[in-house]
Amino acid sequence: MEAPFPSLGKDTARTELVPLLRATGAELAALYARADAVRRAQCGDAVPIRAIVEFSNVCANDCLYCGIRASNPVPVRYRMSPDDILAAVRQIAAGGTAGTVVLQGGETPGPSDDDVAALLRRIKTEVPGLAITMSVGNRPRDVYARWRDAGMDRYLLRFETSSADLFARLHPDCTLAERLQCLRDLKALGVQTGGGFMIGLPGETVEILADNVLLCREFDFDMIGIGPYVPHPDTPLADEPNAYANDPDMFFRAIAVLRLANPDAHIPATTAFDAVFPDGRDLALRRGANVFMPNATPGPLRKNYQLYPGKPCIDEDASDCARCVQTRLRALGRPVAQGPSHSLKRPPMDSST
């Protein structure tokens, strides 16, 4: 299939995307069908499974929307030990469905950078075959390089919004320019790189949303994670509703347009879709998304990693989530992808995974 928007230039692109982001009725149905067709042509029907282990809820930062920001009274701050993380990773491998483990946590002061490197080496040695994605925020380029050399295959770092002003308002600890530099560093190092954004941050306009999609295209990300902003009652944004609170279709228009503008990126149906819409992740998979990311964090820790309220799967454990994903995919008629499902854009640095 010919890539959508083959001639999309930076200057004209926004005017092409905004009408799609306002589609209703038959036009909206056509948008969803087109996104699903592009997903099928570019990614196939098989769904890569990436199991997430939220290994630390310690964070030095104070992003205004985040439930585990440093200033929040989270009942328990935890860091899983390397042995406990290894045990969770072994359980993922034994389950046989996930080809990737995603290790996610707050920014420093979680485990030290050297501890993470040692952990990566242990996983690659003791649980070979799983790809490893890290997601722990901004780090210096030399740290990313060390982790890559220790076995890290991929890195997720959402830029959250392409608006420098909005970013500055929401992130007291870093600038958009710094975040984008981290993403450039990761790409330059040959790490499969994932960016993404929140849909409907307070102050976001449809034009900013279009620019978010276009920034993903400009970076040519291997993976793109987007999800609805959900106000957390313990944060300074508690009373600031999603910009599209009265138009929940916007969450799905965003994922469909994202697919059209980024045809061969891995795009997960993120958990936040379930928080705002019944069966939201299933709908996302039918409207452009191609990846599922079940939670594999040990059950008792989950309630302490609530980035936003209403996060699903808080009372389940890893095996519940693994079963659930298979049931959901069966209902959608989509098989589970085998193997690590690396980037569709470029070969991995090391084919041992």
Which residues are at the interface with ligand SF4 (CB under 6 A)?
59, 61, 63, 66, 68-69, 106-107, 137
Task: For residues 353 and 340, give the distance between their C-alpha atoms in angstroms, rounded to a whole number.
Answer: 7
Q: Which is nearer to ligand SF4, 68 or 237 (CB)?
A: 68
Q: What is the smallest separation between the CB atom of 283 and ligand SF4, expressed in angstroms?
A: 25
Least distance (Å) between residue 174 CB and ligand SF4: 8
Q: Please compute, for residue 205, the number of CA atoms within 13 A of its CA located in the half-sphere on the CB side.
A: 7
Nearest of 194, 204, 344 to residue 264 by alpha carbon: 344
Q: Which is nearer to ligand SF4, 116 or 256 (CB)?
A: 116
Q: Which is nearer to ligand SF4, 32 or 55 (CB)?
A: 55
Q: What is the nearest approach in angstroms of ligand SF4 to the Cβ of residue 58?
A: 9
Indicate the DSSP class of residue 270.
-
184 contact partners, CB below 8 Å, separation of at least 6: none
Q: Please check whether residue 156 is in contact with residue 133, taking contact to mean a CB–CB distance below 8 angstroms.
A: yes
Residue 102 CB, nearest distance to ligand SF4 (Å)? 14
In whole angstroms, the minimum distance from the beta carbon of 239 to ligand SF4 comes to: 19
Cβ proximity to ligand SF4: between 210 and 275 the closer is 275
d(CA 145, CA 135) in angstroms, rounded, equals 14
Terminal Cα distance for the chain, rounded: 29
Kindly report the number of other CB atoms within 10 A of residue 300's CB atom. Answer: 10
Nearer to ligand SF4, 147 or 159 (CB): 159
Q: Which residues of 164-178 are buried (b: 16+ CB within 10 A; e: fewer)?
A: eebbeebbeebebee
CA angle 159, 161, 163 (to 5 degrees): 125
Output 63 or 183, the one with its CB closest to ligand SF4. 63
Contact present, 298 and 249 (Cβ < 8 Å): no
Q: Closer to ligand SF4 by CB, 104 or 343: give it.
A: 104
Q: How far is the CB of 70 from ligand SF4 (least distance, A)?
A: 7
Q: Which is nearer to ligand SF4, 233 or 335 (CB)?
A: 233
Tell the smallest beta-carbon distance from residue 117 to ligand SF4 (Å). 20
Query: What element of type H or E holds 55?
Result: strand 50-56
C-alpha–C-alpha distance, residues 16 and 177, integer Å: 26
Q: What are the structure tokens assigned to 143, written together?
A: 């740290």
Minimum Å gap between C-beta 106 and ligand SF4 is 4
- Give the tokens for residue 50: 């990436």
The structure tokens listed for 271 are: 């958990």
68 or 265: CB nearest ligand SF4? 68
Minimum Å gap between C-beta 92 and ligand SF4 is 22
**Among all chains, which residue has been given the structure tokens 């010919």?**
2
